[in-house]
Amino acid sequence: MATFLIDLSPNDMQARLGDALAVYVDAMGYPRGTESQRAPMWLEHTRRVGWHAVAAVEVDSPADDQLGYQEELDTDTDTDAGDAPAPEQLAAAQLRGIAYGYRGAPDQWWQQQVQRGLRHCGLPYTEIDRLMSDYFELTELHIHPAAQGRGLGEALARRLLSDRVESRVLLSTPEMVGQPNRAWRLYRRLGFADIIRGYHFSGDPRAFAILGRALPL
């Protein structure tokens, strides 16, 4: 198998929404059926300003027959046309990872929730405005469990965060329980720092951390 990172257009995301949501549900360990609840939201997100999505796909490699199982991560398919499979091969390839985000804006529920959390922490309004005025929200980042632990998540995050115009990136992730899990190890390795810890979004009993870092990565 050879693994390639590709950009998804809004139409690509619509076409591959079922695959992307299946990766998300398996990665997060959510119950089956979560996909249909999330689908309208993920589609609505494709229409937001600055939306960008990247995916990791696996393509059967001719060398598989000789070598049994071969892995290669090509993170630069745009410029390495010699090795890249044909677009139709990539479009049909199995999706193993998904990441997307968009530019934060005041009419978004997530921004309103984070602002509420920052006010609750006592952050001065000027500092809240500074933090929330120019950021990219890293909304989703998931690798199928069978493909985790070989650097794909980091590669997707780096590709998603390259060439952004915003001055920082923010995300929310479930709070760490005990030792840092793989998501936390990744975010710390990428230099994400605490913005809010132990935060409860409205209607969700779980605690979340809001993390952020300056861009470029």
Ligand X SMILES: CC(C)(COP(=O)(O)OP(=O)(O)OC[C@H]1O[C@@H](n2cnc3c(N)ncnc32)[C@H](O)[C@@H]1OP(=O)(O)O)[C@@H](O)C(=O)NCCC(=O)NCCS
Our answer to whether residue 187 is catalytic in this structure is: yes
Binding mask 100-139 for ligand X (x = CB under 6 A): ----------------------------------------
Does residue 200 belong to the site contacting ligand X (CB under 6 A)? no
Does residue 152 belong to the site contacting ligand X (CB under 6 A)? yes
By CB under 6 A, the count of residues binding ligand X is 17
- The length of the chain in residues reads 217
> What letters, b where the CB count within 10 A reaches 16 and e where it falls short, cover 144-167?
beebeeeebbebbbbbbbeebebe
Candidate list 141, 160, 209, 210; residue touching ligand X; CB under 6 A: 141
Does residue 50 belong to the site contacting ligand X (CB under 6 A)? no
Binding mask 52-91 for ligand X (x = CB under 6 A): ----------------------------------------
Candidate list 38, 116, 158, 185; residue touching ligand X; CB under 6 A: 185
Does residue 173 belong to the site contacting ligand X (CB under 6 A)? yes
> Using CB under 6 A, which of the segments 11-19, 115-123, 160-168, 183-191 binds ligand X?
183-191
Candidate list 119, 130, 182, 188; residue touching ligand X; CB under 6 A: 182
Q: DSSP per residue over 150-164, as a string?
A: SSHHHHHHHHHHTT-
Structure tokens, 36? 């249909």
- Please list, in sequence order, all residues whose beta carbon lies within 8 angstroms of the beta carbon of residue 14, skipping any fewer than 6 positions away: 43, 46
Q: Using an 8 Å Cβ cutoff, are 124 and 141 in contact?
A: no
Category of 7 on φ-ψ map: left (φ > 0), alpha (ψ -120 to 50) or beta = beta
Q: Is the peptide bond before 216 cis (omega within 30 degrees of 0)?
A: yes
Distance CA 155, CA 4 (A): 10
Active site residues: 187
Residues near ligand X (CB under 6 A) are: 27-28, 141-143, 148-154, 173, 182-183, 185-186
